[in-house]
Chain A
């Protein structure tokens, strides 16, 4: 398997624009996570899905953020409208099984909002 695949790797956008980040989890994994990484806050869990259903979105910072998982092989994280403080590296990760197991991270999307 190619691992967790994220796109784009880098995104530069202007404040107010809509940004969509994409993630393809490892085939067969039933959990998918979206994390945001900044120097100040480290790795923050934004939302996670189990079998395509959002389980906990308490980490989503504002209504400007939304995430979907229309099927087992694809998820999106959307920011609309984007703001400079959204600049960060966004990681997607997937894992398998209900209990504590190893999570596999994608290479991340570095988002810069100017």
Chain B
């Protein structure tokens, strides 16, 4: 089952903040975040592991609530380069199978 993301789309002006949410109906071991620009491949942002460990880029922050099976990605002081579709991926075991949501399309305008 795919995780559910919200919102589906958002438009920001440069400098504004945004939060993208991801929830799963299954118990989560880890949450993976990727960003995809139009016509390009998804690119890794970060992984949040059960227990609080995070792997990823320092400029991006996220949270992982294991009990609620939810994760949120925080984009602060948005830049034009943040535009793209953000995918969260859920992993319910300690293995490599990641199931992605349908994505959140983010557009940052001047």
Mark A residues whose CB is within 8 Å of B.
Answer: 31, 33, 35, 40-45, 48, 50, 55-56, 91, 95, 97-108
Which DSSP category, helix, strand, loop or mixed, fits chain A's interface? strand
Contacts of A101 in B (CB 8 A): 47, 96
Give min CB distance, A110 to chain B, whole Å. Answer: 9
Which of A44, A45, A50, A108 is B41 in contact with, Cβ under 8 Å? Answer: A108
Mark B residues whose CB is within 8 Å of A.
Answer: 2, 29-30, 32, 40-44, 47, 49, 55, 87, 89, 91, 94-103
Given contacts A42-B87, A45-B98, A50-B96, contact A100 B49 (CB under 8 A): yes
29 residue pairs bridging A and B, Cβ less than 8 Å apart:
A33-B96, A41-B2, A42-B2, A42-B102, A43-B103, A44-B2, A44-B100, A45-B97, A45-B98, A45-B99, A48-B96, A50-B96, A55-B97, A56-B97, A91-B41, A99-B96, A100-B29, A100-B32, A100-B47, A102-B44, A102-B47, A102-B55, A103-B96, A103-B98, A105-B41, A105-B42, A105-B43, A106-B41, A107-B41
